[in-house]
């Protein structure tokens, strides 16, 4: 931890934001755990409450685990408007930088972030540490340096922010991220953290899950589960995580119809080929597709799937997804793309 740098940043921050100022903290659209945690940490550092320093986003929190975090940790995120933000004395962007918002953001007085790719000099106060894996790490260093008490609630939020942005310290994690995580680990509520990370499944999903489990097949270490129509994206992801626990399974693809899209969640143990690479090769030409080494997702419009594959029947979707993955994982990429001349996918 660069304590000298952090000490100076704290001095600059407190010199800019005076006690009488009303401050707005603005997060990215559909805020993620790192942004949410960093926002409540900044409010603590400034000695503020939710009335004098509200948290805003132009688009609300939608992901089930993030909504869980907001609910269980009592984090208020209000819908932002440009006009409303203009009324504040100071505007802080956390875990995001001003160019992201375009004309929606009137100005930025404080910028704290870790994302690369933006110009500097856009706000009177800036602390952008692109080497760090999470903005929550920066905020933890602020709290430690300022000798602020880190409550159980705040520690739980920050450790989840670091964990989610670094994939449990496996992606772009620095020594500073590990150090911050170690401090927070002694203070966080792990029962609460488990509830945040694992959103509750609706009871209405039980019949769907039961039917899907009966249809599971494992071939050459590849498990496919077809759910059919679902109401929430997270049930597809949770089933993918669950299926990877079965004996002898190396790769998992869980498929569900969500609204106008076919969603395919993919998991592996992270020891072989990248799940993100495989999903991009197979599905990028049909929709959005990508991810990381051990987890990935494809979202394909149903009309595009039908145009390429010819059918939206459950049995046909199962068969086609299985053929594509087995050809890609067990055979060659050429087999996957040439399985049917009219069904060509990304290569």
> In CATH, what number is assigned to the domain containing residue 223?
3.10.310.30
**For residue 322, what pLDDT band results from cuts at 50, 70 and 90?**
very high
CB 231 within 8 A of CB 99: no
219/141 Cα distance (integer angstroms): 48
Average pLDDT of the chain to the nearest whole number: 91
Over the Cα atoms of the chain, what is R_g? 23
**For residue 342, what pLDDT band results from cuts at 50, 70 and 90?**
very low
Residue 55: per-residue pLDDT: 98
Same domain assignment for residues 103 and 55: yes
CB 39 within 8 A of CB 214: no
Same domain assignment for residues 175 and 262: no
Residue 65: per-residue pLDDT: 85
Question: In this structure, what are the phi and psi dihedrals at residue 291, rounded to the nearest 5 degrees?
Answer: 155, -150
Mean pLDDT of the region 250-279: 94
Domain stop point among 176, 197, 218: 197
Question: Per-residue b/e over 304-315, b at no fewer than 16 CB within 10 Å?
Answer: bbeebbeeeebe
Domain stop point among 171, 197, 223: 197
- Helices and strands of the chain, counted as H and E runs: 14, 12
Residue 41: per-residue pLDDT: 98
Same domain assignment for residues 176 and 58: yes
**For residue 347, what pLDDT band results from cuts at 50, 70 and 90?**
very low
Residue 335: per-residue pLDDT: 47
**For residue 18, what pLDDT band results from cuts at 50, 70 and 90?**
very high
Residue 98: per-residue pLDDT: 96
pLDDT in tens, 46-104: 999 999 999 999 999 988 789 899 999 999 999 999 999 999 999 999 999 999 999 99
What CATH number has the domain bearing residue 58? 3.90.1640.10
Residue 333 has pLDDT above 70, yes or no: no
What's the predicted TM-score (pTM) here? 0.72
Residue 26 has pLDDT above 70, yes or no: yes
**For residue 264, what pLDDT band results from cuts at 50, 70 and 90?**
very high
Strands (E) located in 101-231: 110-113, 125-128, 217-219, 222-229
Same domain assignment for residues 30 and 157: yes
CB 298 within 8 A of CB 279: yes
Same domain assignment for residues 13 and 133: yes
Same domain assignment for residues 181 and 209: no
Same domain assignment for residues 75 and 127: yes
Share of the chain above pLDDT 70, in %: 95
Same domain assignment for residues 288 and 326: yes
Query: Residue 213 sits in which domain range?
Result: 205-343
Domain count, the chain: 2
CB 238 within 8 A of CB 197: no
pLDDT in tens, 277-321: 999 999 999 999 988 888 899 999 999 999 999 999 999 999 999
Residue 334: per-residue pLDDT: 43
Q: Write out the H or E segment, with its range, that includes residue 301.
A: strand 295-301
109/115 Cα distance (integer angstroms): 18
Mean pLDDT of the region 2-31: 96
Residue 177 has pLDDT above 70, yes or no: yes
Same domain assignment for residues 71 and 176: yes
Same domain assignment for residues 228 and 286: yes
125 forms beta bridges with 110
pLDDT in tens, 185-244: 999 999 999 989 877 788 888 999 999 999 898 999 999 999 999 988 889 988 999 999
Residue 336: per-residue pLDDT: 40
Residue 203: per-residue pLDDT: 87
Domain stop point among 197, 217, 250: 197
CB 108 within 8 A of CB 28: no
Mean pLDDT of the region 113-133: 95
Residue 339 has pLDDT above 80, yes or no: no
What is the DSSP code string of 91-105?
EEEESS-GGGGGGG-
* Residue 271, burial from CB neighbour count under 10 angstroms (0-12, 13-18, 19+): exposed
Same domain assignment for residues 236 and 301: yes
Residue 337: per-residue pLDDT: 42
Same domain assignment for residues 218 and 143: no
């Amino acid at each position: 931890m660069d304590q000298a740098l952090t000490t100076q940043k704290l001095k600059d921050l407190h010199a800019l934001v005076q006690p009488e100022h009303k401050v707005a903290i603005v997060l990215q659209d559909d805020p993620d755990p790192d942004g949410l945690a960093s926002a409540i940490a900044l409010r603590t550092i400034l000695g503020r409450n939710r009335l004098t320093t509200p948290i805003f986003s132009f688009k609300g929190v939608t992901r089930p685990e993030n909504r869980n975090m907001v609910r269980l940790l009592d984090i208020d995120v209000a819908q932002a408007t440009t006009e409303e933000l203009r009324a504040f004395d100071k505007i802080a962007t956390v875990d995001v930088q001003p160019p992201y918002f375009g004309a929606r953001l009137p100005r930025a007085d404080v910028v704290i972030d870790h994302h690369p790719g933006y110009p500097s000099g856009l706000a009177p106060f800036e602390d952008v540490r692109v080497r760090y894996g999470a903005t929550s790490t920066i905020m933890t260093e602020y709290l430690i340096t300022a000798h602020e008490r880190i409550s159980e609630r705040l520690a739980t939020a920050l450790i989840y922010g670091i964990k989610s942005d670094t994939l449990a310290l496996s992606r772009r994690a620095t020594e500073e991220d590990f150090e911050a995580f170690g401090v927070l680990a002694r203070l966080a509520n792990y029962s609460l953290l488990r509830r945040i990370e694992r959103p509750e499944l609706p009871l209405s999903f039980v019949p769907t899950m039961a039917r899907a489990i009966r249809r599971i097949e494992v071939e050459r270490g590849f498990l496919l589960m077809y759910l059919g129509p679902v109401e929430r994206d997270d049930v597809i992801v949770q089933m993918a995580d669950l299926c990877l626990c079965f004996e002898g399974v190396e790769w998992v693809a869980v498929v569900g119809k969500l609204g106008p899209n076919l969603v395919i969640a993919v998991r592996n143990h992270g020891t072989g080929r990248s799940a993100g690479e495989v999903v991009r090769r197979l599905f990028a030409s049909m929709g959005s597709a990508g991810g990381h080494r051990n987890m990935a997702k494809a979202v394909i419009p149903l009309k595009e799937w039908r145009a390429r594959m010819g059918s939206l029947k459950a049995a046909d979707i199962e068969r086609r997804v299985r053929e594509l993955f087995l050809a890609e994982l067990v055979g060659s990429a050429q087999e996957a793309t040439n399985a049917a001349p009219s069904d060509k996918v990304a290569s």
